[in-house]
Amino acid sequence: MSVFNAILKSTKACLVTIIVYFSVFALFGNISAKATATTKDTMFEDSVVKVAITDNDNSALSQGLVDYLKETQNVVDPQTTSLVEMNDNVRFLIYDYALIIPEDFSERAKAGETEDLLEFVAPGATAPQFLLTEKIRTYMQDVMVYLNSGYSEEEAIALTKENMIKLSDTKATVMDTSDENHRSFYTGMFTFNGYTLLMILCISISSVLGFTKDRDVKNRISVSGMHFKSRNFATIAAVFCIGFIITAAVVLFVALMGMADTNGKLFFYCINVLALMLIGMGMAYMISAITTNENIINMVTNMFVLSMSFFCGVFIDLQFLSPSIVKFAHFLPLYWYTATIRLINDTPIDKILGKTFFEYLLIELLFAGLFFAAGLIISKKKEQYAV
């Protein structure tokens, strides 16, 4: 028990590091998760666009279109007749949309032309711009239907305006039940956790294991009267205790922060985090076998974990990475951790426990075992050659 307590007390030397990385996780992980989280139930409401209109036709038909837009959008003066300047104004958000009505607009419309009646500046770049373009086209189609049905120009404009304004007042609730189209708060938090938890585990446990390899400490333990197996069991138990406490603190923090966004999948995220814990402990054991110098431990951990975080979808979404980098990431353990998170996020809760989920977990455990085996080999070789 004395060895167990001594190892736990040795974590005090890493307490500042643990607090720093946990604070990074609590602050930036929370900000990132809330910024990228989306929900399934969203209310669609029509957006009001700031639109600049240049009416070169000044006909009843063009004025009817302008009047309709004035009632449904924020119509402003374009302050220029130059297409280049209008384009710049749209790009720099002086206004969102520019509409130019040509001189022959009314004549061409009454002649039955439907294509290229109007000129748009940068339409469709955003959803509101695209929707406004469709509204204008719908307005013109409705006017032509009324005119072709025998209504007068004034009647066609009035009826179309009335119908379009009623349509603008429509609101709809969009119910998207597909999990894969949404990113939960848990997904964001646990993804960022891939970086912070590995950093905390690697640095703290490597330092603790380095403490047990100190010559003076080893001599004190060897004369303590404890059996060799008992000493090793106490060391392993202490290391697992440290790893479990740190991991439990992370999970508890995420659970508390995500109470308002719960989706019933926390249990599956916890299983994945436990697999990551074993990976972190395996990496820590391997690093401690390489060196006991705290500066080198920090350098190696930062180099390895930071690189994986960029390659495996923690800091940069995989869709923005080149296919060659994604293929390379398959050989890194953090890729499979984030892949499991994506699987949990994208899969209905009753279908998560399937073949793919267990395959991903198995791959994570194999990486953990590989790190432990590498640490054992390195330790054995160092003892063999008295390094």
For residue range 218-249, what is the model confidence (pLDDT) as tens digits? 555 555 555 556 666 777 788 888 889 999 99
- How far is 250 from 15, CA to CA, in rounded Å? 15
Alpha-carbon distance values, 142 to 147, 152, 187 (Å): 9, 13, 46
Contacts of 253 (CB under 8 A, 6+ apart): 25, 26
Picking from 42, 300, 72, the residue whose alpha carbon sits closest to that of residue 172 is 42
Per-residue tokens: 122: 């940068």
Tell me how far the alpha carbon of residue 25 is from its chain's centroid: 14
Q: What is the mean pLDDT of residues 72-85?
A: 87
- How far is 304 from 284, CA to CA, in rounded Å? 11
Which carries the bigger pLDDT value, residue 32 or residue 211?
32
CA angle, residues 154, 156, 157, in degrees to nearest 5? 65
Is the pLDDT confidence value at 382 over 50? Answer: yes
Picking from 67, 66, 72, the residue whose alpha carbon sits closest to that of residue 49 is 72
- How far is 252 from 14, CA to CA, in rounded Å? 21
Is the pLDDT confidence value at 197 over 70? Answer: yes
Using DSSP bridges, classify how beta strands 50-55 and 74-76 pair: parallel, antiparallel or unpaired. parallel
| Burial grade of 150 (CB within 10 A; 0-12, 13-18, 19 or more) | exposed
The sign of the torsion formed by the CA atoms of 149, 155, 157, 162 equals negative
CA trace torsion 316, 322, 328, 330 (10° rounding): 60
- How far is 215 from 313, CA to CA, in rounded Å? 41
Instruction: Match 């604070």 to its residue by tokens.
Output: 23
Picking from 332, 355, 187, the residue whose alpha carbon sits closest to that of residue 262 is 187
The pLDDT of residue 198: 93
Task: State the pLDDT confidence band at 356, using cuts at 50, 70 and 90.
Answer: very high
- How far is 139 from 159, CA to CA, in rounded Å? 10
Lowest-pLDDT choice from 9-18, 88-97, 152-161, 290-299: 9-18
Percent of the chain having pLDDT more than 70?
83
Q: What is the mean pLDDT of residues 49-62?
A: 90
The pLDDT of residue 43: 41
Per-residue tokens: 238: 């202490």
Which carries the bigger pLDDT value, residue 170 or residue 377?
377
Picking from 157, 61, 54, the residue whose alpha carbon sits closest to that of residue 111 is 61
Instruction: Match 């923090």 to its residue by tokens.
Output: 253
Is the pLDDT confidence value at 173 over 60? Answer: no
pTM of the model: 0.62
- How far is 248 from 219, CA to CA, in rounded Å? 33
